[in-house]
Amino acid sequence: MSISTRLVDDAVQLVTMDYPPVNALPVEGWYGIARALQKASEDERVRVVVLRAEGRGFNAGVDIKEMQRSEGFDALIGANRGCYAAFKAIYECRVPVVAAVQGFCLGGGVGLVGNCDTIVAAEDAYFGVPEVDRGALGAATHLARLVPQHLMRTMYYTGRTVTAADLQRFGSVLEVVAREDLDAAALSVAREIAAKDPRVIRAAKEALNGIDPVDVNRSYRFEQGFTFELNLAGVADEHRDEFVRTGDNLKV
């Protein structure tokens, strides 16, 4: 189980999540993503990052079982801070970040891709934020970058998901491809970006972040405050215990 990196073409940094069975990341996994993106940002050889995953799905969010095995709030605080660090590192990476998404992309997974610059997805990819069913809040900030406002609200309240094809129609997913072609498609986009003058691309990334209408770091941190309230009220523990008791309900 790891976050691994590999430099391709001496220009494209692959960052791979591999936490079987469903890429539900423990606290260390979120910090691992943050470190990998920060390192890529500081490496002058790197012109673009591809964020990808091994396994049947891209990301199933936080490791709820890790939280429920832990005493007190240490794991919860660690997950909140780790997610914040990972999302922030992607958004503030000095080079563009391309997401290659297969299977499920849920909760924290939406936080990851919502802060990426470009999304390429497999035909079987679907996206959602089931936080309400877990007694938590968060990632509406990032879901709002993928779907229109009213759909975002409906998805948030109901836990419904949308397909990669839906997101392509909204313009938030660039390309939908067969699963076996996903890595090649993501690398193709990455190489197209990497062929540009890196000085201009790094300036463009900073400029585009500067004109964003929403401060995604502050917005997500605001959402997390309500998660803490739900935890202090005991509501979140009830829902997480139920999740652990009933098992993994991911569609495959």
- For the record, the structure tokens of 8 come out as 């391709």
pLDDT digits (tens, 9 = 90+) for 215-239: 999 999 999 999 889 988 889 888 8
Residue 230, domain CATH: 3.90.226.10
Q: Which domain holds residue 186?
A: 2-246
Confidence of residue 241 (pLDDT cuts 50, 70, 90): confident
pTM for the structure as a whole: 0.94
Please, how many CA atoms are within 13 Å of residue 183, restricted to the half-sphere of its CB? Answer: 11
In a domain, 192, yes or no: yes
Total domain count for the chain? 1
- For the record, the structure tokens of 9 come out as 């073409």
Phi/psi of residue 250, each to 5°?
Answer: -65, 140
pLDDT digits (tens, 9 = 90+) for 99-148: 999 999 999 999 999 999 999 999 999 999 999 998 889 999 999 999 99
In a domain, 252, yes or no: no
Cα–Cα dist 117/115, whole Å: 7
User: Given a cut of 90, is residue 78 above it in pLDDT?
Assistant: yes
In a domain, 186, yes or no: yes
In a domain, 251, yes or no: no
